[in-house]
Amino acid sequence: MGQALKKRRRRGRKPIQGVTRTKSGRISRSRSAREARERVEFKEAAAQRLNDYKNRIRVRMAHHDLTEAQAARQESGTVLGRLWLTTVIDERQYDAGVKCRQLCADYLKAINAPDATRNGTKGANGDETDAHEQWARDIAERHAAMKQAIVQANIENRESNIPAAIEYIVIRDQEMEHMIGDLRCGLNALVRHFMLDGLSKSRHKGT
């Protein structure tokens, strides 16, 4: 163990600054002192959050070869978003991927939702349960139609593995560089499926 590390451990926790203390050196427990201590702790917590945020930005820049502006965007937190920010895919493909991911998440909620009737939560007319069941049916139908669009795209591109590209990159958020071509084909099919062809490409990427 290095001498510097040993010294840091012997020092213990850094004392809180800017608070009222008693003659013995302990932090005062009076109301004014407590409020002052809470203000100091709030500032320290805010500074720590800011530092954590800056560290995340630096990590994204280093690991994913992003500019600072790109790394600061919320989209940079996913593989799909980073592909869009670096112009590997266009905006309509990105939007189609986001819709696909959200629909898959909704589908999982729909098939895993507890039975309201069995749990005794059904209202007098069952309106809440009926509404949920209708929502679940709609989601299941939309999900099945989307899956069919993906399968059809794979049939039209027989040398591709479009379902796997969508599953791993869009749904599981995993980096799969060798599947980028298949991903583009799948996202193009989803653009047509979700009727996003006519959308403009005006969103600023912050590059």
114-153 confidence digits (pLDDT tens): 443 344 444 444 567 888 889 999 999 999 999 999 999 9
Domain spans in the chain, listed from the N-terminal domain onward: 30-72, 78-193
Strands (E) in 21-180, as ranges, are none
Lowest model confidence (mean pLDDT) among 21-35, 38-52, 54-68, 162-176: 21-35
Contact, 195 vs 162, CB < 8 A? no
Q: List, in order, residues 6 or more apart from 29 with CB less than 8 Å away.
A: none
Mean pLDDT of 85-99: 96
Q: List, in order, residues 6 or more apart from 57 with CB less than 8 Å away.
A: 68, 71, 72
pLDDT at 166 over 90: yes
* Residue 163 or residue 16, greater confidence: 163
In degrees rounded to 5, what are phi and psi of residue 21?
Answer: -125, 155
Stated pTM of the model: 0.67
Q: List, in order, residues 6 or more apart from 98 with CB less than 8 Å away.
A: 80
Lowest model confidence (mean pLDDT) among 28-37, 153-162, 189-198: 28-37
Centre a 10 Å sphere on the Cβ of residue 98 and count the other Cβ atoms it contains. Answer: 18
